[in-house]
Amino acid sequence: MRPISLTRYLIEQQREHGHLNADLRLLIEVVARACKAISIAIGKGAIGGVLGSAGSENVQGEVQKKLDVLSNEILLEANEWGGHLAALASEEMDHPHAIPNRYPKGEYLLLFDPLDGSSNIDVNISVGTIFSVLRCPDGVAEPREEDFLQPGARQVAAGYAVYGPNTVLVLTTGHGVASFTLDREVGSFLLSERQMKIPAATREFAINMSNMRHWEPPMRRYIDELLAGKTGPRGKDFNMRWVASMVADVHRILTRGGIFIYPRDAREPDKPGKLRLMYEANPMSFIVEQAGGAATNGHQRLLELQPKALHERVAVFLGSREEVEVATRYHREAAGA
């Protein structure tokens, strides 16, 4: 059986569901092509002169790696001219990026974290690109920040590329989750799985345990029970994985189950969490739900949150449905819900 390319898959999805118009198909293919270029840049490592700091800071006040800046530029340049976007937004840019007047505009808003987990770059650990697609509100010619502030349930597509031992693009357009593996010789993403499914039950959790003393009580309760294993109320032993690259951790969970947690903690009590809602939590939550998993902020379905700011942060509990439900129940009980 001939391998199925991303292009062919998208055309088949269009025929089957009729939800993928030409502009959305173009958007996905352009983003995939940009991820290919990012994968090649990352793959050069130290010999590519792309490692280390760029000597600048992003809107989050984080030191930018050279590859953060390069990945952002690759995605901007790839998406400006196609006529499929009304505007775009990135973790690396303070404000939305307007499509230059010399190019036509389209109906979609693209948001992305161009290189998530970039602190892992210099130690050769998997990193990734995360993207989210919304519709531009009708009648808005020059989208501003508030036009991006739509609940995650309004996404029309979302995906990520994980740059690991192989480069894999994972995509949902609202009809399940498919994965594509990059054939580096041909330069094409080839379909590797049509319908990724997250097992409802799991024995594997992903959280940064070094923050334990800063967690709220229901977070402590949930993790203490996992650590108690067979001897505790859960009656089974659990395993832990933490890559500190959300894309890598989420990809493992999509592949074999698990729960990923980045809770709020007392280190910065005014922040609801570390991860960003618009271009990390929302796209990953859309993908996880489409694969049969669940995603909350510890209290409610993450995709229903009404964003208030482009770079706002959120607590994230996502993955195997049964575990997300237990952890969320504990948080709701503690809040008296």
Q: Please give the residue ranges that form the binding site for ligand P6P (CB under 6 A).
A: 116-117, 119, 208, 244-246, 262, 274-275
- Cβ–Cβ contacts within 10 Å for residue 137, how many? 14
Query: CA 304: distance to chain centroid?
Result: 16
Helices 22-44 and 66-80 sit at what angle, rounded to 10 degrees? 150
Taking the complex as a whole, the smallest distance from the CB of residue 219 to ligand P6P amounts, in Å, to 14
Q: Is 106 or 152 the residue whose CB approaches ligand P6P more closely? A: 152
Taking the complex as a whole, the smallest distance from the CB of residue 267 to ligand P6P amounts, in Å, to 10
Q: Which two tokens stand for residue 134?
A: 């919304």
Q: Is 31 or 127 the residue whose CB approaches ligand P6P more closely? A: 127
Closest CA to 219 of 249, 257, 252, 262: 262
Q: What are phi and psi of 231, to 5 degrees?
A: -80, -5
What is the widest separation between alpha-carbon atoms in the chain?
66
Closest CA to 64 of 160, 313, 73, 165: 73
Q: Is 274 or 311 the residue whose CB approaches ligand P6P more closely? A: 274
Q: Is 13 or 72 the residue whose CB approaches ligand P6P more closely? A: 72
Pairing relation of β-strands 294-296 and 204-206?
unpaired
Taking the complex as a whole, the smallest distance from the CB of residue 207 to ligand P6P amounts, in Å, to 9
Q: Is 13 or 126 the residue whose CB approaches ligand P6P more closely? A: 126
The DSSP letter of residue 89 is E
Q: Which two tokens stand for residue 83?
A: 């006529």
Q: Is 81 or 242 the residue whose CB approaches ligand P6P more closely? A: 242
The DSSP letter of residue 336 is T
Taking the complex as a whole, the smallest distance from the CB of residue 255 to ligand P6P amounts, in Å, to 17
Across the strands, what pairs with 113?
Answer: 130
Q: Strand order of the sheet with strand 204-206?
A: 239-240, 204-206, 259-262, 316-319, 294-296
- Cβ–Cβ contacts within 10 Å for residue 4, how many? 16
Taking the complex as a whole, the smallest distance from the CB of residue 45 to ligand P6P amounts, in Å, to 19
> Using CA atoms in the order 75, 128, 251, 177, what is the torsion angle rounded to 10 degrees?
0
Q: Is 34 or 284 the residue whose CB approaches ligand P6P more closely? A: 284
Residue nearest to ligand P6P (CB): 246
Taking the complex as a whole, the smallest distance from the CB of residue 7 to ligand P6P amounts, in Å, to 29
Taking the complex as a whole, the smallest distance from the CB of residue 41 to ligand P6P amounts, in Å, to 19
Q: Is 68 or 147 the residue whose CB approaches ligand P6P more closely? A: 68
Taking the complex as a whole, the smallest distance from the CB of residue 245 to ligand P6P amounts, in Å, to 5
DSSP codes of every residue in 291-321: TT-EEESSSSBGGG---SSTT-EE-EEEESH
